[in-house]
Structure 1
């Protein structure tokens, strides 16, 4: 790789696990805080003064090991730094994240993963590109596609990098698709600039724009509590098999109860 790169490696155990982190030295500094078999935690500091916490994961396929990893991660979102945790989580959050000839259901791995997402206070950055990141490369009715890889972020990250996004790249040498995470904060920079020099002039220009507004009646409607009839109407309008929440339970389950 040459002298322009630095790296850190968590060795594999046999043919499973293992992590490698690579970064250009010109970018800034990476301090490895802690390492376990399935995760590495780093503080990343760019030369522009940006600092965030990054966790790279390669979760086990075993539920008991996954629970240990979720327990390890759950408190990191409250450290006061923008936090991104990305990698292979070996679990799905909804039936839409798996495609196979067999009937897709959500098991204990999904419910445990969903519980971690809720308790850690993180959200999925979503993705652009193909919907699945892993394939078993089998033929015919044995082929399975799954979205095992993703990037989760805490609220501090969302505030600082509100336009960040994830792109699923094409698979090549691996059965997993690489994730490209684009860290974008132009929106925040724009508002910071409005508060800088000549801010009165800049706000005056904004006030001259014909921006869309909502009526007082619409404001009242947005603020009023949601009643049961509205919830029922929303559930009935959802397509079959859709899950409205991270628990992965489909709309039909709520309609039955």
Structure 2
């Protein structure tokens, strides 16, 4: 079990969210979960047992106002976990997987305001400097190209996506291929008002890509939320096209 899962669940108290989370954890062999927009000011052992089971430990960042809140959960039978730094937009963690060593994991719930996301990029840059494999996953509330959006106003390469690209380039983080639905979020409206976007993703640094050149994120079905959970298996065997794509990224880094 070495799959990481990130999901904007839009409320962790929902019965359907707990049922779906348990199903995904079982089917995808998940050892770590980052839940976003939990909308909870407090979460205790009883709620965690109901949500995912009593073999899981957790760390919670409470909601601020009416939205937000994050909780990270890890299967304590399989992995060890230490929280290093937190804010309303990110939880930075050290995740030790016995068969794979230490990994830096950042669980992200980016602000809808691009000015506030400036602080997120600074926190990630400062917290992910060590030369060890690192993965950033979650809901960035930002898209990077017109291909990541369908419906409503056309995409503009404005301040938000420009600063995210700058962070990725400066800090050596790279997008990887995905399988499943192209977009991870829908506003659930109909007709010309409907919008689809890829707000959720995983970014890997080059050390992580060297460890797992087959890395690919899997976009799962949208159930109990308007966001898809996204999963990344750290030791999975993925299609050849995914391997070639990531090797090209590495090749570009080496040249």
TM-score normalised per structure 2: 0.70
Q: Cα deviations across residues 82-131 of structure 1 (Å, max 9, x unaligned)?
A: 00000001111111001004333322211111111111110002211111
- 1:124-143 paired onto structure 2 within 5 Å: 124-143=175-194
Contact residue 162 and residue 184 of structure 1 kept, 8 A:
no
**Does 2:77 match 1:26?**
yes
User: Contact 1:97/1:146 (CA < 8 Å) preserved in 2?
Assistant: yes
2:144 corresponds in structure 1 to 93
Q: 5+ residue gaps in structure 1? A: 188-257
Distance 2:85 2:193 in 1: 39
Count, aligned residues: 187
Q: Distance between the aligned counterparts of 1:156 and 1:112, measured in 2?
A: 23
Question: Post-superposition shift, 1:185?
Answer: 6.7
Residues 95 and 25 (structure 1), Cα distance of their counterparts in 2 relative to 1, 3 Å cut? same
Runs of 4+ displaced beyond 4 Å: none
Unaligned runs of 5+ residues in structure 2 are 1-48, 239-255
Structure with greater strand percent:
2
The equivalent residue for 1:198 is none
* Residue of structure 2 in register with 1:114 after alignment: 165
Q: How does 1:1-257 map to 2 (within 5 A)?
A: 1=49, 2-48=53-99, 50-184=101-235
RMSD (Å), alpha carbons = 1.7
> Partners of 1:39 and 1:112 in 2: how far apart?
17
Query: CA 1:36–1:102 in structure 2 vs 1: closer, same or farther (change >3 Å)?
Result: closer
Contact 1:38–1:69, Cα closer than 8 Å, also in 2: yes
Match of 1:42, SS? Answer: strand
TM-score (norm 1): 0.69
8 Å Cα contact 1:38/1:60 also seen in 2: yes
Structure 1 CA distance for aligned equivalents of residues 204 and 90 of structure 2: 16
1:54-106 alpha-carbon deviations (Å, 9 max, x no partner)? 00000000011111111111244430110000000111111100100433332
